[in-house]
Amino acid sequence: MSTEKKNIIEIEVIARIQTDFPSKFGIPRQSGLVKHLEGRIVFEPEYRSEAAVKGIEHYSHLWLIWQFSENTEKGWSPTVRPPRLGGNTRMGVFATRSPFRPNHLGLSSVKLERVEMDEKLGPVLYVRGADLMDNTPIFDIKPYIPYGDSHPDATSGIFEEVEKVRLLVDIPEALVDRIPSDKLETLKEVLAEDPRPSYQKDPDRIYGLSFAGKNIRFRVEERRLLVVEVEDL
């Protein structure tokens, strides 16, 4: 019996991103939803070349090609249940942004804030709007080019029927001081996007979100999200 040899191509990690999310829960479901989320892209030693990023500062946005590194051991599925559809509707994996893909690749568009040269780390890219977990491996970085990448008349299939609801976030004054002041507004934006899976609607359930060195515990009733505890990680 003959066996078909798989086509395997090796690619290298060129950089890693540093963000305020040490775990997956709470990360925005798409890039750009929380525009003020900060990220810092640090190249791997062999790619810390100033020449490699020459001219990148002229672009306002970048594409990041990266890996769902927390899902590589879980395989893939031809059909998935997108959380935004309530977890009940099955769709083909290639018709979704699901992490359970054959090659576990992600694609994100981020805003480039600035490029800084670090004596030890080389060029460091500071970005906003990323939907990546801390230390996520990045395989490639490409400039976002509006005339080719932007499609104002594009449609998003069944996802256009999903109601986009932002929550009203309530953080009691007694807890505000426990949150770094420079992260407070960004945290509110993250929570307003409703981190919960769409099929979880228990108003008494307490959820925990790790962000910026804090464990943010909250519950949701109707369209109001109430933060009930803030702890150090």
Average the pLDDT over each of 57-66, 140-149, 164-173 and give the range with the smallest value.
164-173
Q: Residue 39: what are its φ and ψ, rounded to 5°?
A: -145, 155
What's the confidence (pLDDT) of residue 156? 79
Whole-angstrom CA distances from 59 to 36, 50, 143, 218 are: 18, 16, 6, 38
Label residue 161 by pLDDT band (50, 70, 90): low
What's the confidence (pLDDT) of residue 86? 67
Comparing CA positions, the residue from 173, 179, 182 lying closest to residue 209 is: 179
The string of pLDDT tens digits covering residues 30-54 is 899 999 999 999 999 999 999 999 9
The string of pLDDT tens digits covering residues 102-150 is 899 999 999 999 999 999 999 999 999 999 999 999 999 999 999 999 9
Label residue 2 by pLDDT band (50, 70, 90): very low
Reply yes or no on whether the pLDDT at 72 is more than 70. Answer: no
pTM of the model: 0.89
Query: Two tokens at 123?
Result: 């060029």
What's the confidence (pLDDT) of residue 162? 63
Domain range list for the chain: 15-149, 165-232
Averaged pLDDT of the chain: 90
Reply yes or no on whether the pLDDT at 66 is more than 80. Answer: yes
Reply yes or no on whether the pLDDT at 179 is more than 60. Answer: yes
Close Cβ partners of 1 (under 8 Å, ≥ 6 residues apart): none
The domain covering 15-149 belongs, at the CATH homologous superfamily level, to: YaeB-like (2.40.30.70)
**% of the chain with per-residue pLDDT over 90:** 70
Average the pLDDT over each of 35-44, 155-164, 184-193 and give the range with the smallest value.
155-164
Reply yes or no on whether the pLDDT at 4 is more than 70. Answer: no
What's the confidence (pLDDT) of residue 141? 98
CATH number 3.30.2310.20 is the correct assignment for the domain at 165-232: yes
The string of pLDDT tens digits covering residues 9-32 is 889 999 999 999 999 999 998 899
Q: Parallel, antiparallel, or unpaired for β 91-92 and 105-118?
A: unpaired
